[in-house]
Structure 1
Amino acid sequence: MSCKGLGKVVQIAIVVRNIDEALENWSKLLGIEKPKVIVTEEWEKTKMMFRGEPSRGRAKLAFINMENIVIELIEPIDGPSTWRDFLEKHGQGIHHIAFVVENADECAKYLEGFGGFKEQEGFFRNGKYIYVNTVNGLGAIIELLQYFSK
């Protein structure tokens, strides 16, 4: 078994305490206009699962589009989530690296062979995501992004 799409990192995500402050600093550092902040949708749309249980965990997100990669800033705001857990245990920092894959569920199973387990998963407009915790095997949380045809 393999996973199509693991050849190119598309995103690095950083969990922050205050997204407005973090955006101010990143924008100043990079000399860019501040990107807009969005809030993840309610459970009824995301069907978010955290460690196998439904969760109303939500977050504020901002995406900084670089030449070669996207930097995502994440501020947890409601309920249990991998983002809140990370912030409480480690403070601010790099949470995951992301890949766009053809089949997120198949890739999550593939990553089990590297000590991975599904930490969180859910849906977003035109797609789904799965965070696979491979910290013990690979030293990182991997996000698998799958986009659906429109």
Structure 2
Amino acid sequence: MNTPLPFLQNGVSQVCILVPKLEPVVEMYYKLFGIGPWQFYTYKKPFVKNMTYMGKPANYASRIALSYFGPTRIELIEPLEGESVYADFIREHGYGVHHFGLLVDDMQAALKQAEEAGLPMTMDGSGFGLDGDGHYAYLDTEKYLGITLELIERPKGRVKPEKVYPPEE
């Protein structure tokens, strides 16, 4: 591939941190920095309709909490079960910053570009939006860049969160 990949042209839209338990970390971000509100979701089937890990169908589960600091989304992930890039990372490094999320408009085109550049997809999930849209895909970039990159095609509409912190009044 002679053309540079376009994924970083719009900057990093998300920073993800793997944590052992969501609630204490969310409460600390809120208490120390006023970051919130946080929206909680459980990513597993059937909420995430299609999941793969290392090129094969997968069935992993994780709880996530989403908020913003400035224009950047912060995502906290608590892995629950199943083989995943999260479990791999924790085994190798412990908890901590796992990936930078990059927004893409066309996931299939982006994945083709990444593959052509020698960056295969390691894990993905899709179909979690209100209209069955939404797709995330992790690229095998840690060995080259020191961090994993996640491509994100955000859903047009999100399902109502399981909970919000602090609780809405």
- TM-score band by shorter chain is 0.7 to 0.9
Q: Which residue of 2 aligns with 1:14?
A: 17
Instruction: Report how far residue 96 of structure 1 moved.
Output: 0.5
Q: With structure 2 as the length reference, what TM-score do the two structures score?
A: 0.77
Task: Specify the code of the residue in structure 2 equivalent to 1:56.
Answer: N
Structure label with greater radius of gyration? 2
More divergent stretch after superposition (118-127 vs 29-38):
29-38
CA-to-partner distance for each residue in 1:57-103, whole Å, 9 max, x for gaps? 01100012121201100001121111122122211111110111122
Residue 130 of structure 1 corresponds to 137
Is the partner of 2:140 in helix, strand or coil? strand
Match of 2:62 among 49, 59, 63: 59
Q: Do structure 1's residue 109 and structure 2's residue 93 form an aligned pair?
A: no
Which consecutive unaligned segments of at least 5 residues does structure 2 have? 158-169
- Normalized per residue, the structure richer in helix is 1
- Secondary structure of 1:48's aligned partner: strand
Q: Distance in 1 between matches of 2:153 and 2:35?
A: 28
- Larger deviation: 83-92 or 71-80? 83-92
Identity %: 29
Q: Is the 8 A contact 2:107 2:153 kept in 1?
A: yes
Instruction: In structure 1, list runs of 5 or more residues that go unmatched.
Output: none
**Post-superposition offset of 1:48:** 0.6
